[in-house]
Amino acid sequence: MAERAQPVSPWPGIGAAALVATLILGTLAAVALRAETSSGFSPADWAALKFTLTQSTLSALFSVLLAVPVARALARRRFRGRRALIALLGAPFILPVIVAILGLLQVFGRSGWISDLLGLFGLPPIRIYGLHGVVLAHLFFNLPLATRLVLQAWQEIPAERFRLAAQLGCNGAAMFRLIELPMLLRILPGVLAVVFAICLTSFAVALTLGGGPRATTIELAIYQAFTYDFDLGRAALLSALQLALTAVAAFAALKFSRGDGFGTGLDRAIRRWDGGTPTLDAFWILTAATFLLLPLASVVISGFAGLFEMPAMVFRAALTSIIVAAASTAILLLLALPMAAAVATGRYGIVELSGILGLAASPLVIGTGLFILIRPLANPTTLALPVTALVNAAMALPFALRILVPAARDVVTRHGRLAISLDMGKGTFFARVLLPRMRPQICFAAGLGAALSMGDLGVIALFADPQIATLPLQIYRLMGAYQMQAAAGGALLLLLLSMGAFWLLDRGGRWHAEA
């Protein structure tokens, strides 16, 4: 039987998926082969494994446990600025990690705002470095994500359930036990697994707030094996261990995220009759908002003064970051668009599976594999920027596909048969129908990819030499040299560049709809 005609050719997408799979699986194979030359795990490596599991577990537990009352308060209350606050909860996802860490240091550090306040009462300053600092930073990044996931689950409960419970005379405790607690028991294991997986591969947080024998993660140990010992065998062995941990966490996240929903309703707006305590809900909302806004406010306030103290190397690093982000975004779209078109035909699920491989591999592990493969052929430092752009694109690909695939499926479903009946060429359909109608999603994916690449501090730390640096790496070097004022100025510049790139690209896809 002949295959059903398709309006778009799947072969470019299959080719892009093959390239992505080769990049990720090939580098992982290189790591596995090189790991065999290592003499095994040292006590320091086992300590890094223990710290990695400890900080990931604590970070996930604190993030999810605190997200529950915040999400419940947002689900029960309607107030002016609620939509803006919920939108703010998505900002840490594209916020450069080094910017957030600098803000946390200025608020919670030894010379930070809270330590100064404690000093007025004769109390000792806060010590942010070590386990508690890493957990605090992960809480800043993952509390908003966990809150959004739990809030979404709360909003999926049909309004009729709350109406029926109110008609039966259920009070707030009974509503929580009968309606909300079953939802939490279903959704929280998946949220925990997702946050745990994210914390496993958090390199920049451990690099800046961890360190030392008792506060070293596996990824930081990989970096140290490269930078200080140049022990590729040990780095490869640690990379293989990191890959195994990440794969298990990713599998757990996918497994626990499955489950039955809450049924369908009549799509009424949810109205709560249990009331609860408005003061308690306001406390949780204000606490979460303050925790998120204070570090950002500190970066803006200190950054304005630091803008005038930045050395010329910061501006060179900013230009480098812009170039890397532009190249990474171009690579991302060249991979994601044909892959989304292939998936939209409904016959090539393997393409989508290839696209999400990046979720199961750490950028540092891929960087390790690329270093091993490149080193016999060329000096890896000369390829630092292209490799960084390529890995950043591969890491952003799963998120881009989540944005592009639903839109591509909708366009193919709506216009595919008509295009075939008109004998429209596949290339013509792709260029004249698919791309224009996916413009908002394409620009949103491009903006997200550019922002993530602009703020990345990962692979570049492995490949760069003292003469090459992106802006996040240069900020980290300034912090290491105790030039905190200049680092604050660089952080503000990076924040403006990241958010500006996201806003400009996303806005470019929507201007026609708002004209």
> What is the full DSSP assignment across 475-509?
HHHHHHTT-HHHHHHHHHHHHHHHHHHHHHHHHHT
Residue 186 in domain: yes
**pLDDT for residue 393 is more than 90:** yes
Q: Is residue 444 part of a domain?
A: yes
Provide the pLDDT confidence category of residue 173 given band limits of 50, 70 and 90.
Answer: low
Q: What is the mean pLDDT of residues 413-425?
A: 84
Whether the pLDDT of residue 115 is over 90: the answer is: no
Question: By CB neighbour count within 10 A (0-12 exposed, 13-18 middle, 19+ buried), where does 88 fall?
Answer: middle
Number of other residues whose CB lies within 10 A of the CB of residue 309: 15
User: Mean of the pLDDT values across residues 252-258?
Assistant: 64
From 238, 273, 301, the end of a domain falls on: 301
Residues 461, 314, single domain; the answer is yes
Mean pLDDT throughout 176-200? 80
Arithmetic mean of pLDDT, 363-389: 87
User: Given this model, what pLDDT does residue 267 score?
Assistant: 43
- What is the mean predicted confidence (pLDDT) over 3-19? 83
User: In terms of domains, do 510 and 374 share one?
Assistant: yes
Residue 474's closest CA among 499, 452, 455? 455
CATH number at residue 102: 1.10.3720.10
Position 264 scores a pLDDT of: 44
**Distance between CA atoms of residues 482 and 372, nearest Å:** 33
Mean pLDDT of the 215-223 span: 84
438-475 CB burial, b ≥16 within 10 A, e <16: bbbbbbbbbbbbbbbbbbbbbbbbbbbeeebbbbbbbb
Asked whether residue 328 is assigned to any structural domain, the reply reads: yes
Q: What is the DSSP string of 329-356?
A: HHHHHHHHHHHHHHHHTTS-HHHHHHHG
Domain membership of residue 38 (yes or no) is no
User: Are 434 and 505 in the same domain?
Assistant: yes
Q: Is residue 228 part of a domain?
A: yes
> How far is 52 from 212, CA to CA, in rounded Å?
13
| pLDDT given at position 390 | 94
Token reading at 372: 């091993």
Query: What mean pLDDT comes out for the span 446-466?
Result: 86
Q: pLDDT digits over 89-98, tens only?
A: 777 777 888 8
Residue 3 belongs to domain spanning: 1-33+310-515
The answer on 515 and 377 residing in a single domain is yes
Higher pLDDT, 318 or 111: 318
Give the range with max mean pLDDT: 84-88, 135-139, 186-190, 455-459.
135-139
**Which amino acid is located at 219 in the chain?**
E
Please give the pLDDT value at position 64: 92
If asked whether residues 83 and 232 sit together in one domain, one would say yes
166 and 315 together in one domain: no
Q: Is residue 320 scored above 90 in pLDDT?
A: yes
Which of 301, 325, 350 delimits the end of a domain?
301
Asked whether residue 280 falls in the same domain as residue 394, the answer is no
Residue with tokens 């060249």: 334
CA–CA distance, 401 with 395 (Å, rounded to integer): 11
Residue whose pair of structure tokens reads 């200049």 in the numeric block: 486
Judged against a pLDDT cut of 80, whether residue 446 lies above it is answered with yes
Shared domain for 286 and 430, answered yes or no, is no
Residue of 261 and 67 predicted with greater confidence: 67
Residue 172 has pLDDT above 70, yes or no: no
**Spatial separation of the C-alpha atoms in residues 202 and 364, rounded to whole Å:** 10
What's the DSSP call for residue 313?
H
Whether 39 is covered by a domain: the verdict is no
- Is there a contact between 444 and 364 (Cβ–Cβ < 8 Å)? no
Q: Is the dihedral of CA 251, 249, 90, 510 positive or negative?
A: negative
Determine the Cα–Cα distance for residues 204 and 186; give it in Å rounded to an integer: 32
Summarize the confidence of residues 327-336 as an average pLDDT: 96
Residues 127 and 1 in one domain: no
| Res. 463: pLDDT tops 90 | no
- Say if 223 falls within a structural domain: yes
* From 129-138, 213-222, 290-299, 473-482, the region with the lowest mean pLDDT: 213-222
What pLDDT is attached to residue 265?
43
Looking at the fold, whether 155 and 257 belong to one and the same domain comes out as yes
Q: How far is CA 458 from CA 222, 372, 373, 388, in A?
A: 11, 16, 18, 8
Q: Is 395 in the same domain as 436?
A: yes
Taking the C-alpha atoms of residue 205 and residue 418, their distance in angstroms, rounded to an integer, is 52
**pLDDT value at residue 322:** 95
Residue 152 lies in a domain: yes
How high is the pLDDT of residue 176? 67
Q: Please report the pLDDT score of residue 514 as a whole number.
A: 47
Last residue of a domain, one of 279, 301, 323: 301
Joined together, the tokens standing for residue 254 give 């996918």
- Looking up tokens 């949810």 gives 270
Distance CA 264, CA 275 (A): 24
C-alpha gyration radius of the chain: 24
SS3 content of the chain, % helix, strand, coil (to 5): 80, 0, 20
Q: Which residue has the higher pLDDT, 252 or 391?
A: 391
Whether residues 147 and 187 share a domain: the answer is yes
Q: Could you tell me the pLDDT band of residue 278, with boundaries at 50, 70 and 90?
A: confident
The Cα–Cα gap between 294 and 103 comes to: 8
Could you give the number of structural domains in the chain? 2
Average pLDDT, the chain: 82
